Amino acid sequence: MHNQLIAIIGAGVMGCATALDVARAGYRVILQDHSESVILQAPDVIRREYRSACFLKQGYGEVPLDIIMDRISFQIQDEGMEEANVIIENVTENIESKKEVYARLSQRARPDALYALNTSCISVTKLASFLPDPRRAIGVHLMNPVPVKSMVEVIKGHHTTPETEQEMVAFLESLGKNPVVIEDLPGFVSNRLSHLLMNEAAFIVQDGIATAEQVDAIMKKGFSYQMGPLETADLIGLDTVVHSLKVLYDSYQDPKFRCCPLLQKMVDAGHWGRKTGQGFYAY
**pLDDT tens per residue across span 78-122:** 889 999 999 999 998 888 999 999 999 888 999 999 999 988 888
If you average pLDDT over residues 251-263, what whole number do you get?
97
Task: State the Cα–Cα distance between residues 172 and 169, nearest whole angstrom.
Answer: 5
d(CA 8, CA 68): 15
∠ Cα 227 230 232 (to 5°): 50
Q: How far apart are CA 145 and CA 172, in angstroms?
A: 16
What confidence score (pLDDT) does residue 177 get?
97
Phi, psi (5° rounding) for residue 18? -65, -45
Q: How far apart are CA 279 and CA 234, in angstroms?
A: 6
Mean pLDDT (whole number) for 230-238: 95
CA distance from start to end of the chain? 40
* pLDDT at residue 1 greater than cutoff 60: no
Q: Write down the pLDDT at residue 93.
A: 83
Model pLDDT, residue 110? 92
Write down the mean pLDDT value for the chain: 95
Q: Is 193 exposed, middle or buried (0-12, 13-18, 19+ CB in 10 A)?
A: exposed
Interval 118-148: pLDDT, tens: 888 889 999 999 999 999 999 999 988 899 9
Residue 54 has pLDDT above 70, yes or no: yes
Asked if residue 206 has pLDDT above 90, the reply is yes
Report the SS3 class of residue 266. Answer: helix
| Three-state secondary structure call for residue 142 | strand
> Torsion-angle region of residue 30: left (phi > 0), alpha (psi -120 to 50) or beta?
beta
β-partners of residue 152 are: 142, 179
Are 257 and 182 in contact by the 8 Å Cβ rule? The answer is: no
- Which spans in the chain are helix H? 13-24, 36-56, 65-70, 95-108, 124-128, 162-174, 190-206, 212-223, 229-236, 238-252, 261-268
Instruction: Indicate whether this model's pTM tops 0.85.
Output: yes
Residues 6+ apart with CB under 8 A from 183: 155, 156
* Whole-number Cα distances in Å, 160 to 112, 130, 166: 13, 14, 11
- Range of lowest pLDDT (46-50, 91-95, 243-247): 91-95
CB atoms within 10 A of CB 5: 18
- Rounded average pLDDT over 164-168: 98
Query: Is the pLDDT reported for residue 2 higher than 90?
Result: no
On the CB side of 242, CA atoms within 13 Å amount to 19
